[in-house]
Structure 1
Amino acid sequence: MYRKEFYVFDQDQPVPAVIRNYTERDFPALIRIQQESFPPPFPSELWWNAEQLSNHVALFPEGALCIEVNGEIAGSMTGLLVDFDPAHPEHTWEEVTDGGYIRNHNPNGNTLYVVDICVRPSQRKLGLGKWLMSSMYDVVVHKGVDRLLGGGRMPGYHKKKHEMTADQYLAAVVKGELKDPVITFLMRCGRTPVQVVANYLEDEESCHYGALMEWRNPFRMTK
């Protein structure tokens, strides 16, 4: 099981933090954080429910991480193992994560797939999302799989949809010409784009697109 103790900084003030595997006793706090992190127009039916969280800790506890700050849960990140074929990358979030229930978790999969990452809005200034992402990279290395992969929302795209395609939007973010709240964050965490996927997730702000973003295991990199 995973446990990392360290400090985050609220301006110049060190604050104790812990990243660990979440358990059943954490479920109410995790659901509250989902509600705070993904307010409308994000669909409420995509917030975690107790059955999904139970599956996470039963089927792949190594991929069920939460972060505590001063002893209070402030965010979480969840993944499952899948067998990903880079030659056929098209999929939806619903298909690859079993709608968040991860009953399709493959212990022999080659890829750690991100189901979700969220941080309580009031604590995002502490850099907790980047710490969670770094810890999931630890799981990639520990499990010896090829990559961490996930589809990032593009919530800034709806403002530009009449000016450019989704592919052009992603390219502009990668070039630094535009900044997207999610894609730019993922790039800051070390993730790189694979491609845009249409109808990836029910998300009006992203016009239902997702950008597949990966982090390759540096111990398994191939040309």
Structure 2
Amino acid sequence: MIQRKDTVLAKASAPEQRRFRTRFLRADDIPALLELERRQWTAEQAAGAADFRARMAAYPDLCGGAFCARTGELLSSVFAKPTHDAEWTEPGSWAQSADLGGPPQTRTRCMFGISLTSVDPGAALQLLAFYYLYLLKRGYSEIFLGSPMPGLKRHLDRHPGASVEAYARATRSGLPVDPQLRYYHGKGWRDIVAVRENYFPHEASCDYGAILKARVPLRHLALLFRLVPVPVLRMLSALAPRLAMPAAR
């Protein structure tokens, strides 16, 4: 992603072969964004209208949504901002990472995913696919994000005093044992840069967060993708849920 704080996606399966439309978000989408936040996050976690306005004003093309092609309902949103990899060498919170203060950053090849919020896995997949292609077009090479670890509290209840760092990096059959880290692993975020205490309020994660890094795929084709129009990128990203998620029978 990914409240804001990035990520716990709803696990409802997409009905039949649901179609989605992705586009950059606008100010008139804020009521739908607030409803999406309300459905997926607690009051403490959820972003507000002022947050959305600030993000759209600072980086309008890094605020995206996936909508149901039939009803127009907003099903997934993503917000991002340029960053520098040096930002992740010191401890910090999600709020610090998501802060939009200071002059806009333009000369960087790194991106921070402020949030990914979704009620439909297919919509989230198509939105992520679009942004992978769009960031490639824009010349970005790495994407950072902060993820909750919703299996952590249960693990610590069973193993008091266990290392949080060890849990975050634990794998089973090559995949992270934590369900959210496993989800992101499947989407390309396979490098754990840091594990931070008091990163954001998330009870099941004991307020810890894992900082993950993914490399934008097909980076060797970046120069070619700069010539590809955004509508074509949208068409290509629409193939992602159809290829990855078989239609219901």
Instruction: State the TM-score, normalizing by the size of structure 1.
Output: 0.80
Cα distance per residue 1:7-32 (max 9 Å; x no partner): xx945x32221111010111011111
Which structure carries more strand by proportion?
Answer: 1
Residue aligned with 1:185, SS: helix
Cα distance per residue 1:102-139 (max 9 Å; x no partner): 2344222331101000112xx34xx2222222222223
For residue 170 of structure 1, what is the aligned residue in structure 2? Answer: 168
The reply to whether residue 23 of structure 1 matches residue 26 of structure 2 is: yes
Q: 2:62 and 2:131 mapped to 1: Cα distance?
A: 7
For residue 190 of structure 1, what is the aligned residue in structure 2? Answer: 188
The reply to whether residue 57 of structure 1 matches residue 67 of structure 2 is: no
Residue aligned with 2:206, SS: coil
For residue 38 of structure 2, what is the aligned residue in structure 1? Answer: 35
Q: Percent identity, aligned pairs only?
A: 20
Contact 2:88 2:194 (C-alpha < 8 Å) held by counterparts: no
For residue 97 of structure 1, what is the aligned residue in structure 2? Answer: 98
Q: 1:172 and 1:137 mapped to 2: Cα distance?
A: 27
Query: Aligned pair in 2 of structure 1 residues 88, 24: CA closer, same or farther (>3 Å)?
Result: same
For residue 76 of structure 2, what is the aligned residue in structure 1? Answer: 75
| Paired amino acid for 1:217 | V
Cα distance per residue 1:69-95 (max 9 Å; x no partner): 122111101000112227725332111
Higher-RCO chain (CA-CA 8 Å, sequence separation at least 6): 2
Alignment length, in residue pairs? 200
Instruction: State the TM-score, normalizing by the size of structure 2.
Output: 0.72
Q: Which runs of 5+ in 2 are unaligned?
A: 1-12, 221-249
Q: 1:191 and 1:90 mapped to 2: Cα distance?
A: 20
User: What's the CA shift for 1:140?
Assistant: 2.4
Which structure carries more helix by proportion?
Answer: 2
Which aligned runs of 4 or more in structure 1 are off by greater than 6 angstroms?
A: none
Contact 1:173 1:183 (C-alpha < 8 Å) held by counterparts: no
Q: 2:214 and 2:48 mapped to 1: Cα distance?
A: 28
Q: Which runs of 5+ in 1 are unaligned?
A: 1-8
Q: 2:202 and 2:53 mapped to 1: Cα distance?
A: 25
The reply to whether residue 144 of structure 1 matches residue 142 of structure 2 is: no
Q: 1:26 and 1:152 mapped to 2: Cα distance?
A: 25
For residue 235 of structure 2, what is the aligned residue in structure 1? Answer: none
User: What's the CA shift for 1:181?
Assistant: 3.3
Query: Aligned pair in 2 of structure 1 residues 174, 78: CA closer, same or farther (>3 Å)?
Result: farther
Contact 2:45 2:201 (C-alpha < 8 Å) held by counterparts: no
| Paired amino acid for 1:148 | I
Contact 2:20 2:123 (C-alpha < 8 Å) held by counterparts: no
